[in-house]
Amino acid sequence: MSVTTFKSPGLEVEKGPQSTGADEKEPVNYLNVSNTIASWLLTGDHKRIAFMYLIGISIVFFLGGIAAGMVRLELTSPKGQWLSSEAYNKMFSAHGIIMVFLFLVPGIPAIIGNFLIPLMVGARDLAFPRLNLLSFYLWLAGGLMVLTALLFGGVDTGWTFYTPYSSIYANGNVTLCLFGIFTLGFSSIATAINFIVTVHKMRAPGLTWFRLPLFVWAMYATSALAILGTPVVAITLLLVAVERTIGLGIFSPELGGDPVLFQHLFWFYSHPAVYIMILPALGIINEIIAASCRKRIFGYEFVAFSSIAIATFGFIVWGHHMFATSQSMYSSMVFSVISFLVAIPSAVKVFNWTATIYKGSVDFNTPMLYALSFIGLFTIGGLTGLYLSSLATDIHLTATYFVVAHFHYVMVGGAVTAFLGALHFWWPKMTGKMYPEFWGKISALVVFIGFNVTFFPQFIVGYVGMPRRYHFYAPEYQIWHILSTAGATILGVGMAIPVCYLTYSLFKGRKAPQNPWGAIGLEWTHAASPPDPHNFLETPVVTWEAYEYTKEDHGHGHDGHDAPVTLPKPEKEEVKV
Amino acid sequence: MAHGHGGFEFIHHSDPNSPSHIKHPTLKEYWVTYFALLALLVVTVALYLYTNFGPAINIVMAMAVAILKAFLVVRNFMNVKGGTKLIFLWAVLGFIWFILMFGIFMDYLTRQWVDQSGWQPLPYMLR
Amino acid sequence: MSLRRMQSATSKPHGDGHAHDHHHGAPQPLSPQFEDIDQQNESYIVGMWTFLVTEIMFFGALFFTYSLYRTLYFDAWVDAHKFLDILWGTLNTFILLTSSLTMVLAVWAAQQGKKWLMISMLAVTILCSFGFLGIKYIEYSAKFEEKLFPGKNFDYVTANRMYKEHHGAGHVKGVAESPATADEAHGDESHTDDSHAGEAKAEESHSETASHGEAGHGDGEHGDGGHGNKLHGKTEIGMLMSKKTNFDNQPKEGFNGMMAEPTQAIALANTDREAQKEAARGRRAQLFFSVYFAMTGLHGVHVLVGILMMSVIIWMRVVDHIAVKDYMPTELVGLYWHFVDIVWIFLFPLMYLIS
């Protein structure tokens, strides 16, 4: 059964007072169906909500980037030049809090996940559209609370809010910030509930679990992590806020409480949180590689189960953030061993991608460039994590810039790179416009170079002893910091370029075909670019496996499933600079 | 298929043959469960007031009764009994994960606990 | 796409024409993103259960904290729980169980389409919840009067004194008879038993605790009298221990009133073992009450939210709002309410019945 290319229904928009100026032939899509403010602010359409998230999250990313810029600027000289030490502490705390809680944790799920999951499972919308809208407003409210706390007075506890500093001694707007993060947690939970129920209950007929795109598997695992972990940090931060205001001293050493208990509870969520940040990125890479290599992902089931394995194992390794605390040696050893084990599913993914690319017909478009740089940078980040899992080396490396470099490699080199790749890959679907390919490739290159110049020196300076979160440091480290800041400038430029051309393409970009990559996936083969408000006019019935590219496309035979899907020719057009 | 735009609502009834169909308990089952819960409450308090098998056994017995009460509420009042397999799985997984968090005990049971309470900060520690 | 639209009838035919089993008397509207009503029903219930899983983890962290501190400070737990009145606790449990029943009857009524039965059952549930909250208010204000609220208010010595006055010197179930217990010996520094000349003043310091905020640990150490000579700030160490000495002449209030003027060096010269133990028990009792108020407070907040949701449903049903034509919102609130009940089922023995 061949895939029928979705044809727009021919429901044409009359030019009238309500139209957005769409041409007479332009079909109705979710962007132009109505353009009142209320229709956007009170929408239940997952695609519109994703769009609103995109705008909000881009703004906070920019703010977090400014904080990072200030930190890097300050670190160019050993004694600092522009900021007081207290201000410096507030700056790196702001950078961490904004990037973690406002950008990375919501980011890919709220934008890419919200937009794509109903399309990928063949549903008309998520299970609970109003809950989705609530999730957006909770994010907005929490974000505003956090930003207010950070901008008017600041928080200098670091994004980890360790007690008893945060609960008793810190001055600043800690309480407001904590309530903001608490609200953000609920936003995260609401989104996760939606995703879980949608994937369980609203798959199209014929779409079994093992025919799902791997991005959906990854998002499902992410949502499970959010459900099981977020409430723990919510209550923990709430207890800190309560200790600051009312005086219930649960972590207070004066009463016999244990500050390390805070760390246990905090990291019980925050370690799964880092997997919340990276799993969607891993899912995205699957999609980009499959489409750009025109080949089914090697070892589909292994990759699917590896997402679940990462989620499960991710819950039992939290103690590796606490090796240098009073945590007992025996439990540290257990955490160390399990942390080594959790690297295995990630490695499975990387190996499978490599095997997929091998003998695929690779198209080096912008998303593929981002995906390739992801594989390299994520591998480096992951391997350096092993140095930190091993108890002996961790004693030397913990709380140094080695750790900072490690997590920036996985977070920026990993999650942000994948996010940019996803944005480019699905931009035609989301907006109906193509971005300029030349500038896309340039920005991918600049980001890659800038990123490595920024963070690789941090491995070195951390290894030779520079502690993290320090304002003043020994002069011999200065050369590495200057190198790092120079890279940060390049990285900033690399991030700014897409903002320019993506915004430009919204208004002046070339109109995108339905399936510019010639990819297999319900969002490409059955939904228009941009999609109809209800995604599909007819519920698709799926009879083919995931990524079932034809013999001609990838040069390998099938193993006897349904007849191979005939793929519409990829509608590539000439690159215009 | 066209979507109805506004207009009147249509009535839908649950289909017993659907795999998602959820059966609901009868009134009698509700009342029986309620009285069972009350009885267990009496047992809980009686155990506390009239018995003492030592701290370890006491807490185990108290928790056993509490778990039984919770089980009754979950099964009958929250209708996990008549629900689908997915709902049952969720109820079980939730409690399993809750137990997983008690893995934090692994740290505390393998080190000597020293009570640091009563520590007073010196003047220079407070600005 | 508007928020909620009624879809044209795509439901399966009713089959044999007989009414479906009597549990599903009331019809339900179908949302556009769903294919059939069973998918919708199950989705909503799975969604609610997913939320309840988050709530399990939310309370779970507190339950863990409780278990941890109970393991570490069991005797203090036993000692401190005597202040909690079992009568109120049992009554609260009874009220909550009954409210669970009325809630489930309300859901049943909604499923049958019996509007006024549902509303009245929900109203009874709300009444029970208010009863619960009222009893909690009584308990909390009692705790406050007995100086058992953590922070500035806490004063274990006074609380114990008031307890003895109310209950006489009789046995209390589970309270350790002798203060000298093994774990307290660990925690305190080993001292000789001589009362030290530098030990500071007597109970009169209690009255100043409100402003100084060292109530929790300060008072116990200064003993209840009968502990030998107390030089009121005559010696240097005495001055150090005296609350009145203030090295920078500035009041220092911490965030929870505990870090008041630092008046003692870390190495306490206080060698009175009894006083040490009193102090430790006081501090740990404050920890117990911190956990108590955190857990029951959080539970109370959930009860309040439940009341709010039930009120909203009653109001919507009375005005025949379209959203509650469906029994599902009531059932979802019912699921939430039963969860709140289960939390209390566990809280009650853990807090009130420690032995």
Same domain, C219 and C126: no
- Is C143 a member of any domain? yes
| Model confidence pLDDT, tens digit, residues A338-380 | 999 999 999 999 999 999 999 888 889 999 999 999 999 999 9
User: Which residues of chain B neighbour C257 with C-beta distances below 8 Å?
Assistant: none
Same domain, C267 and C289: no
**How does DSSP classify residue A434?**
E
**Residue C24 corresponds to which tokens in the numbers above?**
């599903």
Cα separation of C46 and C43, whole Å?
5
**Res. B125 pLDDT band, cuts 50 70 90:** low
B111 with A315: Cβ contact below 8 A: no
Q: Which of residues 488-547 of A touch C (CB under 8 A)?
A: 533-534, 539
**How does DSSP classify residue A211?**
G
Instruction: Determine the pLDDT at residue C179.
Output: 40
C-alpha pair distances (Å), C213 with each of A103, C262, C291: 41, 11, 19
Residues B71 and C340: beta-carbon distance below 8 Å? no
Smallest CA–CA distance from A533 into chain C, residue:
C1
DSSP state letters, C91-140: HHHHHHHHHHHHHHHHHHHHHHT-HHHHHHHHHHHHHHHHHHHHHHHHHH
- Is C306 a member of any domain? yes
Q: Any idea which of A528-532, B8-12, C298-302 has the lowest mean pLDDT?
A: B8-12
Taking alpha carbons only, the member of A95, A181, A189, A101 closest to residue A142 is A181
Secondary structure string (H, E, C) spanning chain B: CCCCCCCCCCCECCCCCCCCCCCCCCHHHHHHHHHHHHHHHHHHHHHHHHCCCCHHHHHHHHHHHHHHHHHHHHHHHCCCCCCCHHHHHHHHHHHHHHHHHHHHHHHHCCCCCCCCCCCCCCHHHCC
Same domain, C98 and C122: yes
Instruction: Determine the pLDDT at residue B37.
Output: 92
Q: Any idea which of A102-111, A277-286, C181-190, C303-312 has the lowest mean pLDDT?
A: C181-190
C43 with A197: Cβ contact below 8 A: yes
User: Which residues, other chains included, contact B73 with Cβ-Cβ below 8 Å and sequence gap of 6+?
Assistant: B33, B37, C100, C338, C341, C342, C345
A327 with B111: Cβ contact below 8 A: yes
Boundary of a domain, candidates C225, C244, C271:
C271
Q: How far is A255 from chain C (nearest CA, A)?
A: 5
Instruction: Determine the pLDDT at residue C271.
Output: 55
Total domains in chain C come to 2
Backbone angles phi, psi at C28, to 5 degrees: -135, 140
Same domain, C331 and C289: yes
- Is C71 a member of any domain? yes
- Is C21 a member of any domain? no
Instruction: Determine the pLDDT at residue B36.
Output: 93
C-alpha pair distances (Å), B17 with each of A202, A416, B21, C162, C304: 18, 47, 7, 65, 39
Smallest CA–CA distance from A254 into chain C, residue:
C283
SS3 A471: coil
Checking if the pLDDT of A490 tops 80, the result is yes
Cα separation of A267 and A273, whole Å?
9
Same domain, C147 and C216: no
Pick the CATH number of A43-554 from 1.10.3720.10, 3.40.50.2300, 3.20.20.110, 1.20.210.10: 1.20.210.10
DSSP β-bridge partners for residue A277: none
Q: How far is C343 from chain B (nearest CA, A)?
A: 9
Instruction: Determine the pLDDT at residue C78.
Output: 87
B9 with C63: Cβ contact below 8 A: no
| Residue C33 contacts B, CB cutoff 8 Å | no
**Res. B121 pLDDT band, cuts 50 70 90:** low
Residues A199 and A121: beta-carbon distance below 8 Å? yes
DSSP state letters, A126-152: -S-HHHHHHHHHHHHHHHHHHHHHHHT
Same domain, C52 and C140: yes
How many contacts, defined by CB atoms under 8 Å, are there between A and C?
160
C71 with B114: Cβ contact below 8 A: no
User: Which residues of chain A neighbour C79 with C-beta distances below 8 Å?
Assistant: none
A202 with C2: Cβ contact below 8 A: no
Same domain, C320 and C343: yes
| Residue B106 contacts A, CB cutoff 8 Å | yes
| Residue A283 contacts C, CB cutoff 8 Å | no
Same domain, C201 and C242: yes
Q: How far is A228 from chain C (nearest CA, A)?
A: 6
Q: Where are the domains of chain B?
A: 23-92
| Residue C323 contacts B, CB cutoff 8 Å | no
Checking if the pLDDT of A157 tops 50, the result is yes
Say how many C-beta atoms besides its own lie within 10 A of residue A326's C-beta: 13
Smallest CA–CA distance from A252 into chain B, residue:
B117
Q: How far is A218 from chain B (nearest CA, A)?
A: 19
Average pLDDT value for residue range A101-112: 96
Element (H, E) at C195: none
Smallest CA–CA distance from A230 into chain C, residue:
C54
C335 with B78: Cβ contact below 8 A: yes
User: Which residues of chain B neighbour C212 with C-beta distances below 8 Å?
Assistant: none
Boundary of a domain, candidates C271, C299, C334:
C271
SS3 A532: strand
Cα separation of A146 and A269, whole Å?
19
**Res. A566 pLDDT band, cuts 50 70 90:** low
* Tokens 């009531």, located at residue: C330
CATH no. for residue C327? 1.20.120.80
A243 with C255: Cβ contact below 8 A: yes
- Is C234 a member of any domain? yes
**Residue C243 corresponds to which tokens in the numbers above?**
């609350």
DSSP β-bridge partners for residue C80: none
B12 with C283: Cβ contact below 8 A: no
Checking if the pLDDT of A387 tops 60, the result is yes
Smallest CA–CA distance from C184 into chain A, residue:
A256
Element (H, E) at A94: helix A85-97
Q: Which of residues 176-235 of C touch B (CB under 8 A)?
A: 183, 186-187, 217, 221
A167 with C255: Cβ contact below 8 A: yes
| Residue C290 contacts B, CB cutoff 8 Å | no
Instruction: Determine the pLDDT at residue C48.
Output: 94
Instruction: Determine the pLDDT at residue A169.
Output: 83
Q: How far is A539 from chain B (nearest CA, A)?
A: 9
Cα separation of B36 and B33, whole Å?
5
Instruction: Determine the pLDDT at residue C166.
Output: 81
User: Which residues of chain C neighbour B119 with C-beta distances below 8 Å?
Assistant: 266
**Res. A167 pLDDT band, cuts 50 70 90:** confident
DSSP β-bridge partners for residue A532: A535
Name the residue among C47, C58, C258 with its Cβ closest to that of A127: C47
| pLDDT, mean over chain A | 88
Q: Which chains touch C (3 or more CB pairs under 8 A)?
A: A, B
Q: How far is CA A22 from the centre of its chain?
A: 33
Q: Where are the domains of chain A?
A: 43-554
Looking at per-residue pLDDT, the higher value among A251 and A552 belongs to A251
B107 with A315: Cβ contact below 8 A: no
Cα separation of A47 and A37, whole Å?
16
Same domain, C82 and C223: no
Q: What residues of A are in the B interface, CB distance below 8 Å?
A: 169, 200-201, 228, 232, 253-257, 260-261, 264-265, 268, 315-316, 319, 326-331, 334, 534, 538
| Model confidence pLDDT, tens digit, residues A77-99 | 999 889 999 999 999 999 999 99
- Domain, as residue range, for C331: 44-154+285-352
Residues A530 and A429: beta-carbon distance below 8 Å? yes
| Residue C196 contacts A, CB cutoff 8 Å | no
Instruction: Determine the pLDDT at residue C169.
Output: 57
User: Which residues of chain A neighbour B126 with C-beta distances below 8 Å?
Assistant: 169
pLDDT above 70 covers a percentage of chain A that reads 91
User: Which residues of chain A neighbour B100 with C-beta distances below 8 Å?
Assistant: 315-316
B118 with C24: Cβ contact below 8 A: no
SS3 C5: coil
User: Which residues of chain C neighbour A197 with C-beta distances below 8 Å?
Assistant: 43, 46-47, 50
Instruction: Determine the pLDDT at residue A64.
Output: 96
C287 with A255: Cβ contact below 8 A: yes
Looking at per-residue pLDDT, the higher value among C28 and A425 belongs to A425
**Res. B114 pLDDT band, cuts 50 70 90:** confident
Same domain, C116 and C70: yes
Q: How far is B28 from chain A (nearest CA, A)?
A: 32
Checking if the pLDDT of A563 tops 50, the result is no
**Residue C207 corresponds to which tokens in the numbers above?**
């009255």
Say how many C-beta atoms besides its own lie within 10 A of residue C140's C-beta: 16
Cα separation of A96 and A401, whole Å?
14
Smallest CA–CA distance from A231 into chain C, residue:
C58
- Is C135 a member of any domain? yes
| Residue C63 contacts A, CB cutoff 8 Å | no
pTM for the complete prediction?
A: 0.83
Q: Which chains touch A (3 or more CB pairs under 8 A)?
A: B, C
Name the residue among A131, A229, A261 with its Cβ closest to that of C68: A261
Checking if the pLDDT of A6 tops 80, the result is no
Name the residue among B3, B86, B111 with its Cβ closest to that of A200: B86
- Is C338 a member of any domain? yes
Cα separation of A288 and A291, whole Å?
5
Smallest CA–CA distance from C26 into chain B, residue:
B13
| Model confidence pLDDT, tens digit, residues B74-112 | 888 888 887 788 888 888 888 888 888 888 888 888 888
Checking if the pLDDT of A24 tops 90, the result is no
Same domain, C289 and C150: yes
**Res. A133 pLDDT band, cuts 50 70 90:** very high
pLDDT lower than 50: segments of chain C: 1-23, 171-172, 174-269
Instruction: Determine the pLDDT at residue B9.
Output: 54
Average pLDDT value for residue range A263-270: 94
User: Which residues of chain B neighbour C21 with C-beta distances below 8 Å?
Assistant: 16, 23
Q: How far is C143 from chain B (nearest CA, A)?
A: 22
